[in-house]
Homo-oligomer: A and B are copies of this chain.
Amino acid sequence: MSLLRYDPATNDWVVFSPERSRRPHDAGGPPTAPSSGAADCPFCPGHEDRTPPEILSRRDGPGGSWTVRVIPNKFAVLSPSSEHEHVEEGPLFRRLGGYGAHEIVIEAPEHDRFLGHQPVEQIDRVLRALHARFNALAQDTRLRAVVAFKNHGAAAGTSLRHPHWQIIATPVVPRQMRVKSAIATDYFDRTGRCVYCDLLTEERAAGIRVIVAGEDYTAVLPYASATPYQVRVMPRVHRASFGRVPEEELGRLAPVLREVLGRLYAGLGDPAFNLTIATAPRGDEHKPSGHWHVDILPRLTTPAGFELGSGMAINTVLPEDAAEHLRRAVPAAAGNAPATCP
């Protein structure tokens, strides 16, 4: 069973999940190179009995087959069957039961197709499944935050190749969410404005770091990017929570995401990356200071002692140079190619 422990010297909660070390691994080799693992893959069609019972699926494929499928993670970091209680183990040592949720969103029936090469309609199905699960988990008052993310490639920490997202819901507010929320609130209190809206306005005016300048979403490599080729997809409409995005606006994200992923794939040769949805913690959904967004973090360099010891990032590529490179990259052609960027 997993649990959380509190560090009074950093105010961080750490999740302990000894079961995770027993996960199967098949993710060696280049991220999307064809693998021989489909026959054994628990996420492939026909192998539905190898996963825990499904939570949600979209059955609009040929003959009513599923196109997107959500299941509990068999090697869950946090689980609804764990306890949810604080225990004092000493004057400074405190732990909390590993209550939470850990779900897998299987992106598509295909074992090997890269998300950025899927039709826009399929990316849209994935986003809608994430949105539905995000909001379902946010109903549970014992959960404080929902983190949705995708790992692509072994260097990005994925253990199974079949393309999937994960959703982890936590019983405490994770550090980064807490810190970013506090900074945005402070900025709002001082200026009456959202720091993300202001950053977006400034990036769009500068232009040199923008790779997709759509009406509803802007893809930009931020001025102070912590890693090479970090891409942030920012919605124009200011809204703290991903869960509150209306259907119609959500529907306009898929083509932008497809274009960004296609440019990263073409420009960097299928890099490993992590994709996360930054959003407000539970209870802050209606705060005027938050602004949800998508962050894509290619794993091109290895953080070392300086970064781990100081918390300060070293980035070896200026984002305006990286943006120039991605604007020139040509995403794979497809029947569903999105509008090209400026």
Q: Which residues of A contact B (CB under 8 A)?
A: 5-18, 20-21, 77, 89-93, 145, 147, 149-151, 154-158, 166, 168, 170, 174-177, 179-180, 183-184, 187, 195-196, 198-199, 202, 205-206, 222-226, 274-278, 295, 297, 301-306, 308-318, 321
23 A-B pairs whose Cβ atoms sit less than 8 Å apart in the complex: A6-B224, A7-B223, A8-B195, A9-B195, A9-B199, A13-B312, A14-B315, A16-B318, A90-B202, A92-B195, A93-B223, A149-B305, A149-B308, A168-B306, A175-B310, A175-B311, A176-B309, A176-B311, A274-B308, A276-B305, A276-B309, A276-B310, A277-B309
Contacts of A8 in B (CB 8 A): 183, 187, 195, 199
A270 to B62 Cα, complex, angstroms? 52
Contacts of A10 in B (CB 8 A): 179-180, 183
Closest 6 CB pairs of A and B: A157-B304, A276-B309, A149-B305, A176-B311, A174-B310, A7-B224
Q: Which residue of B lies closest to A165 (CB)?
A: B305
Interface centre among A6, A183, A316, by most B CB within 10 Å? A316
Tell me the minimal C-beta distance from A173 to chain B in angstroms.
9
Contacts of A276 in B (CB 8 A): 305-306, 308-310
Tell me the minimal C-beta distance from A210 to chain B in angstroms.
14
Instruction: Tell me whether chain A's interface is mostly helix, strand or loop, or mixed.
Output: mixed
Are B7 and A302 touching (Cβ within 8 A)?
A: no
Interface centre among A10, A11, A224, by most B CB within 10 Å? A224
Are B92 and A304 touching (Cβ within 8 A)?
A: no
Are B315 and A177 touching (Cβ within 8 A)?
A: no
A276 to B156 Cα, complex, angstroms? 24
A275's partner among B6, B168, B170, B305 (CB-CB below 8 A) is B305
Tell me the minimal C-beta distance from A169 to chain B in angstroms.
11
Are A225 and B14 touching (Cβ within 8 A)?
A: yes
Q: Which residue of B lies closest to A187 (CB)?
A: B8
Are B5 and A224 touching (Cβ within 8 A)?
A: yes
A202's partner among B93, B176, B315, B317 (CB-CB below 8 A) is B93
| With A302-B155, A304-B149 as contacts: A312 and B9 at CB distance below 8 Å | no
Interface centre among A7, A9, A166, A205, by most B CB within 10 Å? A9
| With A304-B156, A310-B174 as contacts: A21 and B92 at CB distance below 8 Å | no
Are A9 and B170 touching (Cβ within 8 A)?
A: no
Q: Which residue of B lies closest to A300 (CB)?
A: B21
